[in-house]
């Protein structure tokens, strides 16, 4: 393992220190329990959006805290969900009297810890709702797994619901919108090489030079199938086929296409893949109305990418286009 | 022979140290079918449990177990934090009002712990999780207690069954937790959660007799 770190146990707290300095105009960062929140929180009368999960997925979630998106993010240890204490601290820091919506990725630890925190908050009299993101099509039959994982589509949920909360939608409306976005979002990822968790010291799995892992999640866990490496055309087609067939997305649909890097893939390859994906979608009569290309939901230095489709309507386009000011996503303000 | 509150504190401290000592083994088991955090998460949590055990002022076994639960929930994270936290919380609640532990109380506490884990994690036996170690452990403890075994013998029976149950997870295909995403490829690996449950119960059985 070769990383720019000191003690593996200090990685998250030391990274948060740097993040606090870099974005002092936007964020307040607390340690122990770790919470990143808008520096103007709580915003009175606005539904507060809180998300979080293990660290190592940067810029998710702390990079998406700010006006038009999340009110707070709760970073756990690397690839480990935060404890309920952290989530409770975040809820208390950002609750502006209009309720709190928790955006949780469907991973067992995240769901259990956020659920526990929501119970405590309810006892304190704070109105808290939870929406679980489960956009990963790699998990076909949820009867035999912990269910579809929440992966790159999470950033779309956070942006769109964040815009709705910013314009003054109430908790019911934000919750309903979040469920709608989750329902219209599907993702599939592929890895060429795994990332290394600092405290484990070696990669989550190893792939030969001529192998790829299809259907990976975002924690270095292996996927559903190991296949021979193939050129981008074939690989992207494989992802587009699987994602479009799942919802399904069909001719006439308008979508947002997110080509997401897993942390170790350069932007040039992401743009290359994005161009292929958009062309394949066009051939199916699916219009890409909005694009996002970059590394937004990562898995440390995992080499690979995921493709996400979100079915759009005019309301979702407006909310997507609405101003946002965060460390990692910023337009219109 | 019963188990006093002081004995329980000592046993929990010893069990915590055993889990901390097995950190690397649990990380490696989890790396193979999960995300390599189980050993590190439990090391963090049980290091905090050792500090909690230094606290003192216990009003009975229930207060000790509830303190362990609170410590684990607020330090472990992941799936293991809420699951082990719930297990200790329910075990503690089942022992409310008792001044010390006898064998039937141990069986009752273990059953409550299992019920809590089942409710929280929604796993069933055969899903390749800690439930596969805890379920036979509870059954063995109930059988031992019913036959008049003492606390140590009851816990030993539970520990033996947990070890067998953990070993039996090797051929299973995971249906819960992160290993479930591997599908068939999760077979052939020992489940880290079942292993840590087995480690805990074995350590408790070894140390529950106190210094006598």
Average pLDDT over residues A56-62: 98
Structure tokens at A11: 């990685």
pLDDT tens profile A223-278: 778 999 999 999 999 999 999 999 999 999 999 999 999 999 999 999 999 999 99
Residue in B26, B32, B35 to test binding to A, most A beta-carbons within 10 Å? B35
- The neighbour count for residue A97, using CB atoms within 10 Å, is 13
Instruction: Name every chain A residue with its beta carbon within 8 A of the beta carbon of B35.
Output: 79-80, 197, 204, 219-221
From the number of C-beta atoms within 10 Å of its C-beta (0-12, 13-18, 19+), residue B58 rates as: middle
Strands A72-78 and A48-55: parallel
| Stretch 113-142 of chain A: residues touching chain B, C-beta under 8 Å | 113, 115-116, 138-139
For residues B200 and B194, give the distance between their C-alpha atoms in angstroms, rounded to a whole number: 10
Nearest CA of chain A to the CA of B208: how many Å?
30
Nearest to residue A312, comparing CAs of A267, A247, A264?
A247
For B181, which of A54, A80, A217 is closest by C-beta distance?
A217
Q: How confident is the model at residue B200 (pLDDT cuts 50, 70, 90)?
A: very high
pLDDT at A222: 67
Task: Output the pTM of the full model.
Answer: 0.91
From the number of C-beta atoms within 10 Å of its C-beta (0-12, 13-18, 19+), residue A211 rates as: middle
pLDDT tens profile B107-159: 999 999 999 999 999 999 999 999 999 999 999 999 999 999 999 999 999 99
With the C-alpha atoms ordered B146, B151, B154, B155, is the resulting torsion angle positive or negative?
A: positive
Which residues of A are annotated as catalytic?
57, 219
- The neighbour count for residue B24, using CB atoms within 10 Å, is 13
Domain range enclosing B143: 5-208
pLDDT at B212: 44
Phi and psi at A127, nearest 5°, equal -80, 115
Total count of domains within chain B: 1
Beta strands in A56-117 (DSSP E): 72-78, 100-105
CATH number for the domain formed by residue range(s) A184-324+327-331: 3.30.1180.20
Q: Please state the domain extents for chain A.
A: 11-183, 184-324+327-331
Average pLDDT over residues B69-90: 95
DSSP A163-230: HHHHHT--HHHHHHHHHHHHHTEEEEEEEEE--B-TTT-SBSS---TTEEEES--SSS---SEEEE--
Q: How confident is the model at residue A141 (pLDDT cuts 50, 70, 90)?
A: low
Phi and psi at A257, nearest 5°, equal -110, 120
CATH number for the domain formed by residue range(s) A11-183: 3.40.50.10440
In A, minimum Cα distance to B36 occurs at A200
With vertex at residue A297, the alpha carbon angle to CA A188 and CA A320, rounded to the nearest 5 degrees, is 90
CATH number of the CATH domain containing B166: 1.25.40.340
Average pLDDT over residues A293-301: 98
pLDDT at B163: 98
Omega before A42 within 30 of 0, i.e. cis = yes
Structure tokens at A79: 């690839």
């Amino acid at each position: 393992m070769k990383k720019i770190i000191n003690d593996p146990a200090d990685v998250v707290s030391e990274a948060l220190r740097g993040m606090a300095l870099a974005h002092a105009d936007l964020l307040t960062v607390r340690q122990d329990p770790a919470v990143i929140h808008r520096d103007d929180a709580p915003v009175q009368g606005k539904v507060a959006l809180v998300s979080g999960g293990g660290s190592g997925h940067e810029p998710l979630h702390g990079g998406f805290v700010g006006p038009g998106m999340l009110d707070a993010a709760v970073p756990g240890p690397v690839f480990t969900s935060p404890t309920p204490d952290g989530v409770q601290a975040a809820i208390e820091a950002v609750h502006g009297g209009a309720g709190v919506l928790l955006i949780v990725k469907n991973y067992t630890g995240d769901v259990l810890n956020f659920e526990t925190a929501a119970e405590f908050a309810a006892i304190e009299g704070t109105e808290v709702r939870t929406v679980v993101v489960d956009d990963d099509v790699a998990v076909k039959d949820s009867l035999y797994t912990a269910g579809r994982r929440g992966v790159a589509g999470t950033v779309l949920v956070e942006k769109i619901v964040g815009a709705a909360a910013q314009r003054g939608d109430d908790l019911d409306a934000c919750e309903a919108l979040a469920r709608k976005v989750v329902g219209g979002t599907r993702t599939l990822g592929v890895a060429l090489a795994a990332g290394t968790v600092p405290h484990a010291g070696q990669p989550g799995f190893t792939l030969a030079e001529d192998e790829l892992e299809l259907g990976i999640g975002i924690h270095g866990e292996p996927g559903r199938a190991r296949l021979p490496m193939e050129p981008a055309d074939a690989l992207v087609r494989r992802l587009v086929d699987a994602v479009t067939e799942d919802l399904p997305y069909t001719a006439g649909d308008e979508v947002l296409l997110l080509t997401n890097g897993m942390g170790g893939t350069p932007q040039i390859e992401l743009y290359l893949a994005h161009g292929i994906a958009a062309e394949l979608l066009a051939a199916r009569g699916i219009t890409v109305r909005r694009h996002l290309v970059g590394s937004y939901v990562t898995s440390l230095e995992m080499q690979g990418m995921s493709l996400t489709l979100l079915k759009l309507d005019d309301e979702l386009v407006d909310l997507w286009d609405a101003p946002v000011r965060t460390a990692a996503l910023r337009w219109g303000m | 022979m019963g188990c006093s509150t002081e004995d329980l504190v000592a046993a929990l401290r010893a069990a915590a140290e055993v889990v901390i000592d097995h950190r690397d083994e649990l990380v490696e088991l989890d790396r193979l079918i999960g995300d390599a955090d189980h050993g590190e998460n439990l090391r963090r949590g049980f290091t905090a449990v050792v500090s909690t055990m230094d606290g003192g002022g216990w009003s009975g076994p229930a207060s000790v177990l509830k303190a362990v639960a609170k410590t684990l929930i607020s330090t472990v994270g992941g799936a293991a934090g809420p699951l082990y936290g719930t297990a200790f919380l329910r075990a503690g609640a089942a022992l409310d009002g008792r001044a010390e532990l006898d064998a039937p109380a141990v069986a009752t506490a273990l059953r409550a712990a299992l019920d809590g884990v089942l409710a929280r994690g929604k796993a069933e036996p055969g899903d390749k999780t800690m439930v596969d170690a805890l379920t036979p452990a509870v059954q063995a403890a109930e059988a031992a207690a019913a036959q008049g075994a003492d606390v140590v013998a009851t816990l030993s029976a539970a520990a033996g069954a947990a070890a067998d149950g953990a070993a039996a997870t090797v051929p299973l295909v995971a249906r819960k937790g992160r290993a479930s995403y591997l599908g068939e490829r999760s077979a052939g690996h020992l489940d880290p959660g079942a292993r840590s449950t087995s480690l805990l119960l074995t350590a408790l059985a070894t140390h529950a007799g106190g210094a006598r």
